[in-house]
Structure 1
């Protein structure tokens, strides 16, 4: 599909939203719903509810649905009660009642399953008003077309892809960067809803729905590639008698220099590697990293654009997960799930070191 609207140049910073403001306000306030209250979806929902209540024009409470009901209940309490957030009893209720449906889900299979539920519900109860679906999950680009096929059969319904960049801490502070592609008018309307409610900036990548998820994977490949480089450097430092902590000190020095770009996430994950802090319940779980790396590798294959560091990182993530699974079978795993900083386990094993416990191999003894 040819893009009728050129993407905003990535160096452009004079505007946070690359669209003119919608010409006229809504005749009645939008009913907004969110499906998926994970590490990113939960703070997005909380911030959106808080933003809506701060506006001078009253609007209906945010409607949320999550398969783990306790998360929805916690959100209602944190948001100040049912005047601000209501819990849908089913995906069908959410999609039938809402004008805007935002999804943030774990993987492609779940995303497709949920949109199939949406399509079935709306086929049985066709909407009389416009609906906008905002898919924010990290998915493989071609899935966007499949979702569009499911939604395009529903009258008055439009889909946009709106992938987000930012760690949970950025989501918590409504500092996400939003990457949009799809129907132009829907993007414009959603941009003014989501900034500054959940994000700080929007990039428009045109009408082709595959562009935003493609760019999301490209962006994530930078992070994963950087982590792989740090992991390899730390491991080489261990084998060469310098020590991983020395490399991490250098990383901090280089990346916090006023002459260079700061990368606090790389510092944070490097710290996890050095300290074997691989608890996936407090970070980005390894299954998510493997899923993203798998998508990146498929994307490089589709475009004949090799990325060897991602191939290596994917292999090392699998190694880390295999080590963890073996520990679980023996009943002595330290964490219920690994964080994807455990990618360092692959480079350690390749170098003949213990993958998940750096304390089990000889450390560097500094010369006096």
Structure 2
């Protein structure tokens, strides 16, 4: 094709159709061709703005036409390029992005509030269950102490009776005074008691019993200046002290020795009762309820004070018995 024909006779037409081939737009572009300086080939640059709308496009090079209907009749005989322009990805404005961000934030907030409320309900149920279990454990503890206290009272009254039968009136009066003071402390029904008060209770009891059986005893508090004020469950050692007196000191009399220690070790409280009796079989089931009730009481205390567990160990042999109770994290 001659250059003059291209410049003056041929034009560039741009046609946009839909998928069915129906013409949507028709544009006649300039015929001002640009020629390559190297080899002289013609070229033409079409502005991108012509392709803003999506659809199927045809670029047709044909002689000048007066109507678009002429193009459909001649297009198959002229050079053309077909291509498709897809819809552009929609860009959100700052306002739209702000609205979307607010909606997302509202959804996240609602979900977070629902989760928090669910967790609160779950926590309330746990607290109610823990409270119920604690109340049940306290009830059982009270029942156990109601069994242990009469046991102590019976032993004490037996001691007074023995002194009266032996006409040791003065000792019986002293015993009775100590018994009255001890009974008042016991009937306070406190679950927790200070180390010092626990020591005083044990001292009152042992001073009474030593009047009967002539044994020697020692009670030591080992710790810093604040340790005697620390609180522990009341009368933890009392049943074991009673057993030591009943089964060993009563037999050994003035040869009997009893050592009680209440000591601190880091954050733990360690209570121990050591006697020089003949010992007993720790695994054997005895008819008495004392040891069973003590173990059950410790089990219930562990339900109430889960962060501060209590454990008990009994070593017994022919040279004596050692009962050790460890209260972890009570200091």
TM-score range, shorter chain: under 0.3
* TM-score under structure 2 length normalisation: 0.21
The structure with the largest strand share of the pair is: 2
TM superposition score normalised by structure 1:
0.20
Of the two structures, which has the highest relative contact order with CA contacts closer than 8 Å and spacing of 6 or more? 1
The structure with the largest alpha-carbon Rg is 2
